[in-house]
């Protein structure tokens, strides 16, 4: 697998003019940093076939190749680094902006039933555009993992993630996802205007590095736990999810079925366990 492109061709933040209300008065117009939200078109290219648009995602620029690979992995298009040969930006775009908003993943072959999705995905939804209910709820084998983590370590994870959230500190407008060891060491953090994009960037990084599946890692989330985030974790065989926010009913149901330990409302001295508490050492 080869990667062809600049590492950070487009900025993750932009400057906007704002008027602030402070001390019961409006101040002068000043510059402020806001998060960038732009479309990313993901194209797939199979042997002997031209590149074809697969999906368009609203995202924060940065780690675009990881996002494209992670998105395709979450959709079941790829499951191993051997499944694709190259990842690159579009070299034929009319403008630089178009070039860096299009990523092509060259597959070594198409999975059975591949290329079903051709749709737009907003930054608020990770399953928009799926063809049927069956597409949304993919069949995932229950996770077999002997991983265990201490309760004290879980309470430390949100703060460790927060300290790595550079874009949130600048703009206050992004979600974060992190990968941690069972020891509590946070080894990776990704931020994006879409919570599902942040997770896909993590998964894409792991897949591109050949570190897939991630059955000995903890997924740490800065917000709530939605169904699609549990499904992404299940596809990557991540056995534990710890989040600052709460899970939805369907997220809990899927976590129980997939044998994922689901932990929400994590704070300095508290958390709730919604499924499979046996992986947590008191």
To the query of whether residue 125 is one of the catalytic residues in this protein, the response is yes
CATH 3.10.20.10 domain position(s) in the chain: 38-136
Please state the rounded mean pLDDT for residues 61-68. Answer: 96
Calpha distance 72→219 (Å, rounded) = 19
Please state the rounded mean pLDDT for residues 74-82. Answer: 92
pLDDT in tens, 2-27: 666 555 578 999 999 999 999 999 99
Please state the rounded mean pLDDT for residues 68-80. Answer: 94
CATH 3.40.140.10 domain position(s) in the chain: 149-281
**Do 51 and 184 form a contact (C-beta atoms < 8 A)?**
no
- Class in CATH terms, 38-136: alpha beta
- The yes/no answer on whether domain 149-281 falls in CATH 3.40.140.10 is yes
pLDDT for 123 equals 54
pLDDT for 151 equals 98
Residue 212: pLDDT band with limits 50, 70, 90: confident
pLDDT for 94 equals 67
pLDDT in tens, 163-179: 999 999 999 999 999 99
Candidates 16, 63, 18, 48; CA nearest to 194 is 63
Phi-psi region of 76 (alpha: psi -120 to 50; beta: other; left: phi over 0): left
Q: How many CA atoms lie within 13 A of 80 on its CB side?
A: 6
Quote the percentage of the chain above a pLDDT of 70: 87
Mean pLDDT across the chain? 89
pTM: 0.89
Classify strands 52-59 and 119-121 as parallel, antiparallel or unpaired: parallel
274 burial type by CB count under 10 A (0-12 exposed, 13-18 middle, 19+ buried):
buried
Two structure tokens written together for 274: 């919604």
Cα Dmax for the chain: 65
The DSSP secondary-structure symbol of 247 reads: B
Calpha distance 238→183 (Å, rounded) = 15
Of residues 88, 90, 125, 189, which has the active-site annotation? 125
Calpha distance 96→11 (Å, rounded) = 13
The contacts of residue 46 (CB under 8 Å, 6+ apart) are 107, 109, 110, 114, 115
DSSP line for 19-42 = EEEETTEEEEEEEEEEE--EEEEE
pLDDT for 110 equals 83
Residue 143: pLDDT band with limits 50, 70, 90: very high
């Amino acid at each position: 697998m080869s990667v062809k492109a600049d590492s950070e061709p487009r900025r993750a933040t932009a400057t906007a003019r704002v008027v602030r209300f402070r001390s019961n008065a409006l101040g002068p117009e000043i510059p402020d940093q806001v998060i960038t939200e732009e479309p990313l078109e993901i194209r797939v290219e199979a042997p002997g076939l031209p590149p074809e648009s697969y999906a368009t995602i609203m995202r924060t620029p940065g780690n675009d190749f990881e996002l494209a690979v992670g998105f395709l992995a979450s959709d079941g298009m790829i499951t191993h680094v051997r499944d694709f040969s190259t990842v690159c930006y579009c070299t034929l775009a009319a403008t630089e902006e178009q070039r860096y908003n299009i990523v092509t993943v060259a597959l070594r072959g198409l999975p059975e039933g591949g290329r079903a999705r051709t749709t737009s995905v907003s930054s608020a939804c990770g399953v928009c555009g799926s063809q049927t209910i069956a597409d949304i709820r993919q069949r995932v084998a229950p996770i077999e993992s002997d991983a265990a983590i201490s309760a004290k370590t879980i309470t430390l994870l949100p703060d460790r993630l927060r300290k790595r959230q550079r874009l949130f500190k600048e703009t206050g407008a992004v979600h974060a996802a992190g990968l941690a060891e069972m020891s509590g060491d946070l080894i990776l953090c990704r931020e994006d205007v879409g919570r599902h994009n942040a997770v896909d960037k993590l998964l894409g990084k792991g897949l591109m590095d050949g570190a897939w599946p991630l059955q000995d890692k903890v997924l740490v989330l800065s917000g709530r736990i939605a169904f699609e985030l549990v499904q992404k974790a299940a596809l990557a065989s991540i056995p534990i999810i710890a989040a600052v926010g709460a899970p939805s009913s369907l997220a809990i149901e899927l976590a129980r079925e997939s044998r994922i330990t689901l932990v929400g409302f994590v704070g300095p001295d508290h958390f709730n366990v919604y499924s499979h508490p046996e992986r947590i050492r008191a």
